[in-house]
Amino acid sequence: MGANSSSLELITEPKLPSGGSLEHCCAVEHPPTIPAEIAPSSNHTNAKFRQLNFFILFLTVIKSVLDSENTKSSSDFGNFVLEKDVFGCLPTNLNFNMRKPRIAIIFTGGTIAMKFDVGFGGIVPALSATEILDSVPGIRELADITAVEFGRFPGPHVTPDIMLQLSRTCAELAASPDIDGIIVTHGTDTLEETAFFLDCTTNTEKPIIVIGAMRNSSELDWDGPRNLRDAILVASHEGFRGMGVLVCLSGNINAASEVSKTDTAELSTFASFDFGPIARITNQKITIYRRPHHREFFDVQRLPSFVPLLKCYTGMDGDLVRVCLERGAAGIVIEAFGVGNVTPPIYYALTEAIAKDIPVVLVSRCPVGRIEHVYAYEGAGKHLYDAGVIFADYLNGQKARIKLMVAIGAGYSNEQIRGSFEWAE
């Protein structure tokens, strides 16, 4: 079974020890005594014993692979090693090349690591990496796991600087030949932003899977163990190589660039409105539908300190935009009405930002659909686009802000930023 295989490979032709033979491999010190009245002739006896020994060998191999008490994982190679001479007919040093996938799990906190605390009177971070892993039956049989205790942050405590540290940790692990895939546990409130940040700033073919939980460990329907087990299967699967960062919760696998949290409490809260899921897991079986529509890597050297996100509302004036300019905004993201329109005061305030060479990115406050520069009244999309506003293709406000931050952090010019956001045909 290869490093990225999620199914058990049946060994029908076991490899014999060097210089050995089938008879030697299956030899027993004290073969059973067969009563004379049922003993066949000596010629038939040898043939029957050879058949019997081969059958015992076959059963022993299968039992030793499936029975966890009779197997162990080599610390160097992850090969299954038969520890016991189960039927008295196998050498204990017989190795089979069945290396388990090697998965790094970075624990950052979130509800998946929380429980109810009487003293605090509510749900708080509490569980260690080991405690979370121990809650998932059989998880160590699926993969050789490297656990990284990154932190116990609630989702709202995660900042862009923490995201950048996490990205560098992922990059270091992905560069190791001893790691086949990476999983990041995270609070769901800001999970989509961190996942997209990692997607923009990690450059690896190895799968990076971000997961969380909508129920804490004190609840009977805690979904953390199932999500973590599913993520092991995804991170181990060859089909997800080169897809970038994926989000895996409640059996749905979505691209980090496309997914959003859609419900405050439902287990299946993460969805991709515009394109649908990348894949699904049903009964631990993975079905892949497609690849992400767009990916881009940014070599971030630093992050701007202030990139605000403003949401349009009826009667909005330009004061908030001007306050952002006074505070030294490195860029501004605007959630516009509908297909891409703003109030006239906002339009004029944004032209002031553009005159200062500050990139302004426009998205829609609608959850589905692409913005367009089709309307031509005052404050409408055509005037915004002609003035130099950048139209973000298929991104919500929080994701557009992340992308603008990393683009600025990578030293992109305003024209390069425009090309990065306006990628769709």
The tens digit of pLDDT for each residue in 256-313 reads: 999 999 999 999 999 999 999 999 999 889 999 999 989 999 999 899 999 999 999 9
Tell me how far apart the alpha carbons of residues 185 and 210 are, in angstroms, rounded to a whole number.
Answer: 6
The CA-based dihedral angle spanning residues 52, 56, 59, 63, taken in that order and rounded to the nearest 10 degrees: 170
Answer yes or no: do 69 and 176 share one domain: no
Tell me how far apart the alpha carbons of residues 320 and 310 are, in angstroms, rounded to a whole number.
Answer: 8
Residue type, 13: E
**What's residue 243's pLDDT?**
97
Answer yes or no: do 272 and 320 share one domain: no
Answer yes or no: do 264 and 346 share one domain: no
Residue 283 domain-assigned?
yes
Residue 16 domain-assigned?
no
Domain containing residue 254: 102-288
Q: What are phi and psi of 185, to 5 degrees?
A: -90, 145
Residue 215 domain-assigned?
yes
Task: Report, as residue numbers or ranges, the catalytic residues.
Answer: 111
Answer yes or no: do 133 and 257 share one domain: yes
**What's residue 143's pLDDT?**
97
Answer yes or no: do 320 and 377 share one domain: yes
- What ranges make up the beta strands (E) of 93-140? 95-96, 102-109, 114-117, 122-125
Which of 81, 96, 111 is the endpoint of a domain? 96
Answer yes or no: do 389 and 351 share one domain: yes
- For residue 339, the domain's CATH number is 3.40.50.40
Residue 9 domain-assigned?
no
H/E element holding 198?
helix 191-201
Residue type, 93: N
Residue 366 domain-assigned?
yes
**What's residue 56's pLDDT?**
62
Could you tell me which residues are beta bridge partners of residue 261? 270
* 350-382 b/e (C-beta count within 10 Å ≥ 16 → b): bbebbeeebbbbbbbebeeebbebebeeebbbe
With 0.75 as the threshold, say if the pTM is over it: yes
DSSP class of 350: H
Residue 175, Cβ neighbours under 10 Å: how many? 10
Distance of CA 130 to the CA centre of its chain: 19
Counts of helices then strands in the chain (DSSP H, E): 12, 19
Answer yes or no: do 358 and 400 share one domain: yes
Domain tally for the chain? 3
Conformation bin of residue 222: beta by default, left when phi > 0, alpha when psi is -120 to 50:
beta
* 218-247 b/e (C-beta count within 10 Å ≥ 16 → b): ebeebbbbbbbbbbbbbbbbebbeebbbbb
Below-50 pLDDT ranges, the chain: 1-42, 45, 68-97
Residue 280 domain-assigned?
yes
Residue 14 domain-assigned?
no
Answer yes or no: do 366 and 394 share one domain: yes
Answer yes or no: do 116 and 226 share one domain: yes
Answer yes or no: do 264 and 157 share one domain: yes
**What's residue 77's pLDDT?**
31
**What's residue 59's pLDDT?**
62
**What's residue 12's pLDDT?**
33
pLDDT digits over 324-379, tens only? 999 999 999 999 999 999 999 999 999 999 999 999 999 999 999 999 999 999 99
* 263-284 b/e (C-beta count within 10 Å ≥ 16 → b): eeeebebbbbeebebbbbbeee
